[in-house]
Structure 1
Amino acid sequence: MKKYIIFLVAILTLLAPFGCSDYLDVDPEGVKPTEEFFQTQEDAVSAVNAIYARMRTWQMVAFAYVIMQEITSDNSIKGSSQGDASFINDFDKFTFTSNQGTITDYWNGRYEGINLSNQVLSNVPDIEMNETLKTRLLGEAKFTRALFYFDLVRAFGDVPMPTSIDNVLEASTVRTPKDEVYAQIIQDLTDAIAVLPDSYDAANVGRATNGAARGLLAKVYLYRGEWDKVLEQTSAIINSNRYGLEENFYDVFRIPFENGKESLFEIQASAVAGNADLSNSQHSQVQGVRGTNGFGWGFNIPSDDLAAAFDAAGDEVRKKVTILYKGDVTEDGDVIEGVGNGELEGVNIPRYNGKSYVPRNRQVSGVNEGAEQNIRVLRYAEILLIDAEAKVQKGDIGGAATSLNLVRERVDLDPIEAPTLQDIWNERRLELAMEGDRFFDLVRTGQAATVLGPQGFVSGKNDVFPVPQVMIDITNNAIPQNNGY
């Protein structure tokens, strides 16, 4: 799907009607009227493609993603030049408020995706089309809806939960308890597992698979602490023999290895020279090397604390891939020049997020830097670590060691024969650093108050983010604010 998907632009809000435009086959002004849509099989496919296209937009993978999921943690800081986007420091210090546009972006982006998913689930069943394809498309829409709700429930707790175009008005003004949201996520993923294929042909690579749905469900059960159910899913993935670890950790994040054996799900991105609207992912751009011979803006800088964690573990391999220092030469031959010492806010020695790095030979002219790079959502390495954590919780220390040490062996670290929960959590930090899980992991594992307390984290308040004030205002206070905000 990365190279062949019909890219659509759909600008929707939580209460907006469906709209789309096909930038490959149709004049950008030629938007099909809503009443004429959802009539044909082609409409159904285009509507699902629009969900995938939504995933790579600014609200989904740029500032809101890196600010709320990493900069709030101990992994990274604002970066960029002194004073540039200074509001980001409010998230590092936990002084943000419900009026922050970043929080509104995070909320709106995911509800726009939910709206697209609900449009498919409400309208596609009535289309006369190939039934096998219809079933698969509905499974994809359930997977995407589950993914969007998983982000929201982790970030905000209780959230509005529209599940169709029929209940959107009523459901949008009520916060559904998080346990019910999780129940819906689990049901959607269970339904998706039953119908999604194990793989696709070359023209559709990148769509949600059975393995992607199982992997996300395993992660959901991890957050719920339902260990037997975690292991049911991780065992199915591991025993399928469809996945494995890339031999070279550097390769995991490079474009030639996208949708490879380690990938369960990636947000697909493509760069078309001169077409900025189509090549709209800014995930790499906002984090790319800033300055001389740079690739981006230099935000979301790996912290000294993260560097020290790599050093304490003797983890030279993952540190070199995750943190690009000024003067480094990458495996692709790029010299990291960047800016001078002290010019990046918050650090003296310039460094950048190596996982978002796109080599110069893969940069495409006339579009956002790094727009070609997919965003990794679920990797097999994480499945092994989820499996290890569940096995420790169940007392299967030997089984946990087997899964954990596969991840460690790849980066030349000695095995841990009797891992503890803290060993697993430390491994998650180093393996998944800068990939958007660290803040949620600290909250989930009860470490946030200790680890983030020096930054200003307040337990019982900052475990979740505030509901955007605009949502409270437009619903006339029908949606209540989270505690402490």
Structure 2
Amino acid sequence: MKNKKYNLQNVMGLGLITAISLFAGCKKSFLDRTAAGTTVATQFWKTSADATAANAAMYADLHSYAELAFPAIAIESMGSDDVTKGSVPTDATFLQEYINFSVTPGEGQLEGFWTGVYNNINFANQILTNVPAINMDATLKARYLAEAQFIRAYDYFRLVRAFGAVPLRLHPPVTASDYNLARTPAAQVYAQIEADLTAAASVLPTTYSSVDIGHVTKGAALALHAKVALYQKKWTDVVTYTNQVTALGVYSLFPNYEKMFRTQNKNNSESIFEIQNELIPNHPEESNSQYSQVQMPRVTEPAGGWGFNNPSPNLIAEFEAGDPRLAATVIYTGQVTAEGDMIDASAPDPYYNYKSYVPFSQYVSGFNQGCQQDFMVLRYADVLLMNAEANNELGSTSTALASLEMVRARAREGNSAILPAVTTTDQATLRNAIYHERRVELGMEFDRHADVIRQGRGAAVFGFLGFKAGKSEVWPIPQNEIDLSAGVLTQNPGY
């Protein structure tokens, strides 16, 4: 495994635009950029171009190492029965501490995730604080502010799921007292997330022209709001927001489950929000996503990756007989992929994540392997399953069954001999069927850990791994952050 280094810093103290690199916007993608140095706050926030540069920097930060590689994998994927650490036994052994819920507050991925996500919140807060004073096109200004509200909401949702109560920062620090905030109760964090998403959805467009594909949309704000409501068991709200996503008329299930995750099908009909990762010719330093690289099969380079975060036998056993999603989720060593790559049978792990896979023919020497692979944050199948779960909890069984059947029908790929329609009208039985469907449909998409915990099943499902009720529902607050705060930040129970 290559050694990826990044600075750990108390990003709660970042208050100047010097945290933001400015990028030119002359290329096709809004993420394609040429570094232009940094600019102090007194020289920035003057023009529409400044606002556009800040917007691009905010999005670009979403594919940082902290937010898509080891820290995110540790916090959002490792603590579940869906995955194994992967790679060779002696490599990155700290990841095993997340799988067996033995992690301590000083473990470095906690700090990496915390600082990485707060850094992105800082980008959003800079925009929300400074862009209103810029004299620019009013419609574009409103859109940039709404995008920043969505990104801030998405970031806080990741934090509150991971740690519970967290400091709620809504503007860059100005005075000394702004630099060291106490934890805000989770309910208040959720309330702010919902306020941001409500405001964003009222402004964001339903679709974009090709030049702006990848920016957040109204559908993204509504879908994330539904997921936030799901975590709070606000079932009526979940139904409302998922129905609103469907009513937009722009999303549909992609017909081929495996092909949905390939690079040639980025931003397809099912995608509601995905983090845009690019391979920018002649700019390997800007093509820096490692989401795919750390998970690709650990085979001979240059094609191979690091081989971490692999499907577990437990996940594989969950799939029903003949379910095509199994072969689209799991790469087996010794197999030839649908794209024609032979996975060396001597690789150290029997299984790898197909959803992060990039065909070897797309690898370019000098670039991170698979750096062009996007990360799907929200997709329409999740919306349908949220709708099914909420309707079942509200007693609307027929509607729940209809939403569930749409997901299973796509998975069948026309084969009526597999995945029979779920017909039960018993609420508890249907609930379990929906939980099962979420697991196999969203497998290896960083959803299982938090999903089981918000369902209240942590001890029952993860107990054999070491999950302890009253403790393992959240991760420990990074010890370094507590130390930097001189005790203003408090630790979660049990750590």
Aligned partners of 1:44 and 1:124 also within 8 Å: yes
Matched, 1:462 2:462: no
CA distance in 2, matches of 1:315, 1:196: 41
Q: Deviations over 1:456-484 (max 9, x none)?
A: 11110010000000111011101110000
Aligned partners of 2:173 and 2:179 also within 8 Å: no
- Aligned-partner residue type, residue 126 of structure 1: A
Moved more, 106-115 or 322-331: 322-331
- Aligned-partner residue type, residue 233 of structure 1: Y
Partner residue of 2:271? 263
Q: Give the Å deviation of 1:27.
A: 7.2
- Aligned-partner residue type, residue 420 of structure 1: L
Partner residue of 2:416? none
Matched, 1:473 2:472: no
Matched, 1:232 2:240: yes
TM-score normalized with structure 2 length: 0.91
Partner residue of 1:5? none
SS of the counterpart of 1:296?
A: coil
Matched, 1:85 2:95: no
Instruction: Count matched residues.
Output: 466
CA distance in 2, matches of 1:378, 1:181: 21
Listed as ranges, the gaps of 5+ residues in structure 1 are 1-10, 345-349
Q: Give the Å deviation of 1:410.
A: 1.1
- Aligned-partner residue type, residue 245 of structure 2: I
Partner residue of 1:422? 432
Partner residue of 1:309? 318
Partner residue of 1:177? 185
CA distance in 2, matches of 1:361, 1:172: 49
Aligned partners of 2:10 and 2:481 also within 8 Å: no
Listed as ranges, the gaps of 5+ residues in structure 2 are 1-8, 26-32, 413-418
Partner residue of 2:283? 275
Aligned partners of 2:274 and 2:375 also within 8 Å: yes
RMSD: 1.7
Q: Give the Å deviation of 1:165.
A: 2.0
Q: Give the Å deviation of 1:33.
A: 2.3
CA distance in 1, matches of 2:138, 2:228: 29
Aligned partners of 1:326 and 1:337 also within 8 Å: yes
CA distance in 2, matches of 1:353, 1:196: 33
CA distance in 2, matches of 1:29, 1:219: 37
Partner residue of 1:433? 443
- Counting aligned pairs with the same residue, the percent is 41
Aligned partners of 1:270 and 1:373 also within 8 Å: yes
Aligned partners of 1:273 and 1:365 also within 8 Å: no
SS of the counterpart of 1:324?
A: strand
Q: 1:192 aligns with which of 168, 175, 200?
A: 200
Moved more, 169-178 or 460-469: 169-178
SS of the counterpart of 1:30?
A: strand
Q: Give the Å deviation of 1:170.
A: 3.0
Aligned partners of 1:324 and 1:351 also within 8 Å: yes
CA distance in 2, matches of 1:220, 1:171: 28
TM-score normalized with structure 1 length: 0.93
Q: Deviations over 1:61-82 (max 9, x none)?
A: 0011222222210000111012
SS of the counterpart of 1:352?
A: strand
CA distance in 2, matches of 1:157, 1:15: 21
Q: 1:483 aligns with which of 450, 469, 493?
A: 493
Partner residue of 1:139? 146
SS of the counterpart of 2:146?
A: helix
Matched, 1:447 2:457: yes
Over 6 Å off, 4+ runs: none
CA distance in 1, matches of 2:275, 2:34: 25
CA distance in 2, matches of 1:12, 1:338: 44
SS of the counterpart of 2:309?
A: strand
Q: Deviations over 1:369-391 (max 9, x none)?
A: 00001100000000000000000
Q: Give the Å deviation of 1:172.
A: 4.0
Moved more, 203-212 or 294-303: 294-303
For the structure 1 residues 141 and 12, does the alpha-carbon distance in structure 2 shift closer, same or farther, using more than 3 Å as the test?
farther
Q: 1:75 aligns with which of 67, 77, 82?
A: 82
